[in-house]
């Protein structure tokens, strides 16, 4: 019987856990999603265990051979020992958990664990927009801003796996406080949360005569405001929304120039819910960076939008299995 090689990818997010069998070309063969349990980390580990067992059986029935399990998660991961170091506030108790050791009790497959921005960069390298280059940066723009750097074909991990927190690169020393402890990070301008917060500040400072009817709704109810509204107002050419989005793109552009100076990549791939299907963001950043920084380094960089789509997290998690050397 023909046996198809695949990997099992598991993407752990704050609201859902996506799991699936993904082939060597990045095509999802079978997948399931589960709600992320809110009760405790033990319930999350239960879901991971059930996922590994369920998909091992599914693969056997379908004639697929699983080569390994790749897990991506929000938070910081100690890659060497396969442990979440500090998670995200979106996932209950998601700290200091030896995920790989736990799952080894239930499967003999090789297991890889990394943070979801690193797995995004790996997926773009193995399956996506950065195939064919060994020097790339992946940036995920969603609730926060994550980064992963592949240099000369290797993912830069640092001392224990924490390298690549590119969203916490400061682009304005006098900028707003960031939850990382620093100030004026890319994330406070260009993440979904950052865009909403910067828009809220603008609303506070607007004269009441400048408030349109749609803005008045949020004036007394600012916590309801998200980046989704800001983008739709931007598209409707509302001046304060345009200022907010333009600032986000400018902050990201200066950050990207810093990254180019540091890593000399040839491709930078933008992904995540904030930029999905917004090709104009990649084009605008490509134009911005031409006039900033060293032309010898800037001139050879392509800014591209990820095409991995809604399954990017799952595909990214699975890609680790093909990346190991
Ligand atoms: Zn920060």
In which element (H, E) is residue 66 found?
A: strand 64-73
CB-based neighbours (< 5 A) of ligand 1, an ion: 168, 178, 180, 182, 185
* Same domain as 159, residue 110: no
E strand or H helix at 73: strand 64-73
Separation of CA 30 and ligand 1 centre (Å) = 37
What does the pLDDT read at residue 47? 95
Domain total in the chain = 2
Measure 127 CA to ligand 1 centroid, in angstroms.
30
Distance CA 250, CA 257 (A): 11
> In residues, how long is the chain?
325
| Same structural domain, 124 and 155 | no
What is residue 208's predicted lDDT score, i.e. its pLDDT? 73
Same domain for 240 and 143: yes
Q: What's the pLDDT at 80?
A: 86
On whether both 160 and 284 belong to a single domain, the answer is yes
Q: Which residue positions in the chain have pLDDT lower than 70? A: 1-2, 324-325
pLDDT (0 to 100) of residue 86: 80
Same domain, 155 and 171: yes
Q: Are 155 and 184 contained in the same domain?
A: yes
**Which residues have CB under 8 Å from 136's CB, separation 6+?**
121, 124, 125, 130, 149, 150, 265, 266, 267, 268, 269
Query: What CATH number corresponds to the domain at position 288?
Result: 3.30.420.40
User: Is there a single domain that holds both residue 115 and residue 175?
Assistant: no
Q: What's the rounded Cα separation, in Å, for the pair 74 and 88?
A: 6
Q: Both 229 and 97 in a single domain?
A: no
pLDDT of residue 217: 76
Task: Provide the residue range defining the domain that includes 218.
Answer: 136-307
Cα 202 to ligand 1 centroid, rounded to whole Å: 21
Predicted confidence at residue 1, as pLDDT, reads 57
DSSP string, 238-267: -HHHHHHHHHHHHHHHHHHHHHHHHH--SE
Starting at the edge strand found earlier in the chain, the sheet holding 136-141 runs: 154-155, 145-151, 136-141, 267-271, 302-305
- For residues 208 and 73, state if they share a domain: no
- Residues 104 and 182 both lie in one domain: no
Residues with catalytic roles: 116
For residue 144, report the distance from its CA to the centre of ligand 1, in Å: 10
pLDDT in tens, 1-45: 567 999 999 999 888 999 999 999 999 999 999 999 988 889 999
Q: Do 169 and 182 share a domain, yes or no?
A: yes
């Amino acid at each position: 019987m023909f046996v198809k090689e695949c990997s099992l990818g598991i993407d752990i997010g704050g609201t859902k856990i996506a799991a699936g069998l993904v082939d060597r070309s990045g095509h999802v063969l079978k997948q399931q999603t589960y709600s992320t349990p809110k009760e405790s980390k033990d319930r999350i580990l239960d879901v991971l265990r059930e996922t590994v067992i369920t998909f091992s059986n599914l693969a056997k029935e379908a004639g697929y051979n699983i080569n390994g399990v790749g897990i991506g998660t929000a938070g910081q991961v100690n890659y060497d020992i396969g442990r979440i170091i500090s998670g995200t506030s979106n996932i209950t108790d998601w700290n200091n958990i030896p995920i790989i050791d736990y799952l080894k009790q239930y499967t003999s497959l090789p297991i890889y664990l990394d943070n979801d921005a690193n797995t995004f960069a790996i997926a773009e390298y193995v399956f996506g927009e950065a195939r064919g280059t060994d020097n790339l940066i992946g940036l995920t723009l969603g609730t926060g801003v994550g980064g992963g750097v592949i240099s000369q074909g290797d993912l830069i991990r640092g001392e224990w796996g924490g390298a690549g927190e590119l969203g916490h690169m400061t682009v304005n020393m006098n900028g707003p406080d960031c939850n990382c402890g620093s100030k004026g990070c890319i994330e406070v301008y260009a993440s979904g949360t950052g865009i909403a917060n910067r828009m809220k500040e603008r609303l506070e400072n607007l004269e009441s005569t400048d408030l349109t009817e749609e803005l008045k709704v949020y004036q007394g109810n600012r916590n309801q405001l998200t980046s989704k509204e800001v983008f739709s107002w931007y598209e409707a050419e509302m001046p304060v929304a345009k200022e907010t989005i333009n600032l986000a793109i400018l902050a990201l552009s200066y950050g990207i120039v810093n990254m180019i100076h540091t890593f000399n990549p040839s491709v930078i791939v933008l992904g995540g819910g904030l930029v999905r299907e917004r090709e104009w963001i990649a084009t605008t950043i490509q134009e911005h960076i031409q006039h900033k920084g060293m032309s010898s380094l800037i001139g050879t960089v392509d800014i591209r939008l990820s095409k991995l789509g809604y399954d990017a997290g799952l595909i990214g998690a699975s890609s680790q299995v093909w990346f190991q050397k």
